[in-house]
Structure 1
Amino acid sequence: MDIRGIDLNLLVILDAMARHRSVNRTAQAVGLSQPATSAALARLRLLFDDPLFVRAGAQMEPTPRAQALAPAVRRVIETVSTEILSPAAFDPATAQRSFTIVTPDIGEVSFLPGVLRRLRQEAPQVQLKAIARPREAAASALESGEADLAVGFFPDLQKAGFFQQNLFRTSYVCIACAKNEAAPARLTMRQFLEARHIVVLPNGREHLLDRFLADKGWRRHVTLELSHFMSLLALLPGTDLIATVPEDIATVVGRHVPLKTIELPFRPPRLDVQQFWHRRMQQDAAHKWLRGVFHAVNRREAGAPLPS
């Protein structure tokens, strides 16, 4: 018997008949008319070459063939109902699952601490993995399932096939070692361009500020180029170098080494920090929960500082 030629809806009728032993009661249970139910029973009899149910007094009694089929059919109906048709559920308290997040090192120190505290309370067995990818590779990581979320500044992901959600808007500040006596409270444009700069290009990718300066035709004197923002912790103290970085970086670095903030001679661009995911994950229950955690923990009003 080829399953491709079978109307699997007939199994629902067979299961109901085995439980109700009546065409009328079966019709009511499955939401069909009495003639339609009788027609379905006739098709079942033809399919199995057996009467399946015969009248005995006030009800229909199963034949040995129907009795043998009933338990297996019930298991099929229950499996389809509970494991296929029921909405996928996710219980963070008992879940044992790993999620991968694409984010630069600033994202690791800015976004993950609060999320980890939340996981410890709500999902103690859930694991997180943070990976860094060049900006153009973030899309393929989400498309392939290598990563679940991209969190940060990813303008390349603002395209069809991806969803996005705003977390906060931020900007840039200029920082220097607190003991750098040569650094003024406010830079002129000439002083800014001639100063010795540390520039951070995570994974070699250009930052919004770099494009902003290039569009203006302003060329800084770059003394040192880095791949990781956190290297500033070791390289700013005791030097005359300055760095123009996202506000969260200045906050994090300032928690570990003494800094001074220098007023820039121009208004820096603002950038939207968002979380992105591929459309195939939009309805996944576990992914919805993960997005909710990241949004609840990291959502900030405009101008609000990074929480301690």
Structure 2
Amino acid sequence: MHNLHVEMKTVHNNLQRLDLNLLKVFNALYLHRHVSRAASSVHLSQSAFSHALARLRDQLDDELFIRSHTKMIPTEYAISIHSPITQVLVTLNTCFGQKLEFAPTKSKHEFNFAVTDFTTLLMMPKLIAHLERVAPEVRINLTNHDAKLPISAFEEAEIDFSLGYAHGEVESTRLIDEWVWLEDSYCTLASNDLVSLDLQTFLQRKHILVSPWGERSGVVDKQLCLLGHSRDIAIQLPNVMNAPFLVAGSDLLITLPKLAAIELQGLLPIRLFDVPFTMPKYQLKVFSYTPTQASTENRWMLAQLRLLFMT
């Protein structure tokens, strides 16, 4: 292990002295054996090429090529290093070559999403139906996380995307990219016993707070505070799917995005009312991790999400 460390340190020191861009100059001259033709092949002027060759000679401490009447003749050292330099250039060209495109019809790639039950309800049925047609063997893994923006899960490659909702309170970071895929207004659900809903009734009734990340208050409470009011929260839930069942058999109210309310209203004897005070728009967002969102798989998935939810 010690010997390997010494060898790696020696390689590192050698590379520090060498400008790797000059390897292309060396390879061009080795192939063409003529300065002007070699310069043209790497898109350099003859003067710039000659200057680069002089630098390479200095860095490698060898003449490398000796001028004859008709061509440049490689030295023994140049001949000895040509093959490994060629291999290095081929490897670099492969490494930085054209990226392979994602082939959805053949891929068995797994995409990992951080979700809540609410974002799953709104996005996944449409996405899964689409994937069955265009990428039948792709797999979707859904997970729950304790944070609205699970940065550590992104960093550990546990998730590719996070489906969340916010009103600007999610801490921003340059490592996270976000876009809004749905905006919606709020409404309030109550049992069928309630005929109408005004602000007084809203404040008199007890409420359900849905809080996937454990906050003790939500956007409704913030808006009421601006009006000088507060509400009585009787129960706090980690998910939205159980809430309508509690509403149907009690005097409890729950305020949630209208699109979700309409989906849930048909399941139980509950009624939908406009919120009796001004509420901001509800924003659902897709969060992606900047270091990995440019992968061919993730670029493809982002394109599908935009196709389905942004048109």
TM-score category of the 2 structures, normalised to the smaller one: 0.7 to 0.9
Q: Which residue of 1 aligns with 2:277?
A: 266
Matches within 5 A, 1:156-175: 156-157=169-170, 159=172, 161=174, 162-175=176-189
CA distance in 2, matches of 1:267, 1:275: 26
Between 1:163-172 and 1:59-68, the stretch displaced more is 59-68
One of 25, 32, 35 as aligned partner of 1:20: 32
One of 245, 265, 275 as aligned partner of 1:254: 265
CA distance in 2, matches of 1:256, 1:23: 80
Q: Which residue of 2 aligns with 1:81?
A: 93
Give SS of 2:183's match.
Answer: strand
Q: Which residue of 1 aligns with 2:49?
A: 37
**1:206-262 alpha-carbon deviations (Å, 9 max, x no partner):** 331232223334343444321110113543444444322211321332354454223
Cα distance change of structure 1 residues 38 and 299 upon mapping to structure 2, 3 Å threshold? closer
**1:1-46 alpha-carbon deviations (Å, 9 max, x no partner):** 7221112222112211232232221011112233443454455556
Number of residue pairs the alignment of both structures matches: 295
TM-score (norm 2): 0.76
Q: Which residue of 2 aligns with 1:245?
A: 256
CA distance in 1, matches of 2:201, 2:138: 49
CA distance in 2, matches of 1:125, 1:212: 45
Unaligned runs of 5+ in 2: 1-9
**1:159-207 alpha-carbon deviations (Å, 9 max, x no partner):** 4524432223212112235xx3x221x2133322233433322221333
Give SS of 2:141's match.
Answer: strand
Give the residue type in structure 1 aligned to 2:92.
Answer: V
TM-score (norm 1): 0.77
Q: Which residue of 2 aligns with 1:191?
A: 201
Give the residue type in structure 1 aligned to 2:39.
Answer: A
Give the residue type in structure 2 aligned to 1:74.
Answer: T
- CA RMSD in angstroms, aligned pairs only: 3.4
Cα distance change of structure 1 residues 149 and 16 upon mapping to structure 2, 3 Å threshold? same
**1:260-300 alpha-carbon deviations (Å, 9 max, x no partner):** 22344334432222333455456555444333332322236
CA distance in 2, matches of 1:204, 1:245: 16
Cα distance change of structure 1 residues 105 and 70 upon mapping to structure 2, 3 Å threshold? same
Give the residue type in structure 2 aligned to 1:80.
Answer: L
Give SS of 2:102's match.
Answer: coil
Q: Which residue of 1 aligns with 2:121?
A: 109
**Contact 1:197–1:221, Cα closer than 8 Å, also in 2:** yes
Give the residue type in structure 1 aligned to 2:178.
Answer: Q
**Contact 1:88–1:284, Cα closer than 8 Å, also in 2:** no
One of 70, 88, 91 as aligned partner of 2:82: 70
CA distance in 2, matches of 1:269, 1:49: 70
Unaligned runs of 5+ in 1: 301-308
Between 1:73-82 and 1:37-46, the stretch displaced more is 37-46
Cα distance change of structure 1 residues 199 and 35 upon mapping to structure 2, 3 Å threshold? closer
